[in-house]
A and B are shown apart, each in its own frame.
Chain A
């Protein structure tokens, strides 16, 4: 897909020299736009690092990326890398700058936990083919595992110097379970080159701001019950894949280096706490 030329907003230009970092991990924002309803809306995302934008059909920002001052109902995105907060506005002029505490209001709480709650309600034979229901011990271990995953991400975020707002509230791939592809926004951060910014601050071609439709997320987590009474967390992050299957208080971990690789790196039978190093591997 041809990528649109895009001139940075003025307020971004003036701050350009500050915007360099080596962030290479994806940041996932879910549902913030969805809260605005069908009337459309816009969102600007401000981060300590430049962001590479991906979006999907319903909220196609392409037109307005090419023309940031255009009208219509398309969502508008532009990155400002001065501050660590998200601001959201509607086309009717109701602008809102969300402080980190406010962001929680527009972003759903982690949905994998909600999914786990649903799983905990399953009865025996939930699939009509004799599937086992997960035991209380398994559910407890799964809850601990999700908390550990979130904690490991948080530690990662802190090491990278990202704000709590961007990372904890918005960047976790964990909240995305119930968000369909066309509602999900994936922000992938990538450093802009200083040269590009200083040379007129116009981004085009292969430069960092891009918009793609119908692309799979680079971070994708799912939690589901298995028919033998276990609970599985499958998490794909930057092509790496981690699968944790929880039975009782033990976790069977298998990981693959890439989507394309057939053979896994290994299989480990661990305690929940011992899986931490595998989450770290996933996010490094």
Chain B
């Protein structure tokens, strides 16, 4: 059971998947995922990419969350990313995937996780460059398994 292995406030195990709801307004002019969907700010201490932990929440359940519907519309795009793959190139950095309850998610509050820790990257251009590399990595990863807006799970590009 995934419930048993996701420790509240702890790191999400590498073999689980993350679901990222995609605001269609954040796609580029060609309708492709871009870094707008994985915006990371180093100046905000609590900043991170908000995601759902699968199987604690499914694609459809994520789409049905009121806060997601309000932000991204009905049947919004959802990207599926494996935690291990997300963290693979940044193992020697402070970036982590942490479970963090989100009350906005109602009964799925426990299924919420943040990709965060980027605030601990080095200051200056070096850290900025590392952040850009990581953002691009997230976009590329998300593109591999993306359920576009209006699609069903069966139409996944995986």
Contacts and interface: CB of A to CB of B under 8 A. Distances in A.
A274 interface: no
A115 B132 contact: no
A127 B72 CA distance: 9
Interface residues of B, number: 22
B129 A262 contact: no
Given A129-B71, A228-B39, A263 B133 contact: yes
B15 interface: no
B36 A262 contact: no
Contacts of B25: 126-128, 131
Contacts, number: 61
B106 interface: no
Given A128-B71, A129-B23, A254-B132, A115 B29 contact: yes
B74 to A, nearest CB: 13
Contacts of B35: 226, 232
A227 B36 contact: yes
Contacts of A232: 34-35
Contacts of B128: 267
B137 interface: yes
A267 B125 contact: yes
B89 A243 contact: no
B132 A264 contact: yes
Contact of A256 (B28, B71, B89, B136): B136
A111 to B, nearest CB: 8
Given A126-B25, A178-B29, A234-B28, A222 B129 contact: no
25 contacts: A118-B29, A127-B23, A127-B36, A128-B25, A222-B28, A222-B30, A222-B34, A223-B29, A224-B28, A224-B29, A224-B34, A226-B35, A232-B35, A234-B34, A243-B132, A254-B132, A256-B136, A259-B140, A262-B89, A262-B137, A263-B133, A264-B129, A264-B132, A264-B136, A266-B129
Given A228-B39, A264-B132, 4 more contacts: A177-B29, A241-B136, A264-B133, A266-B129
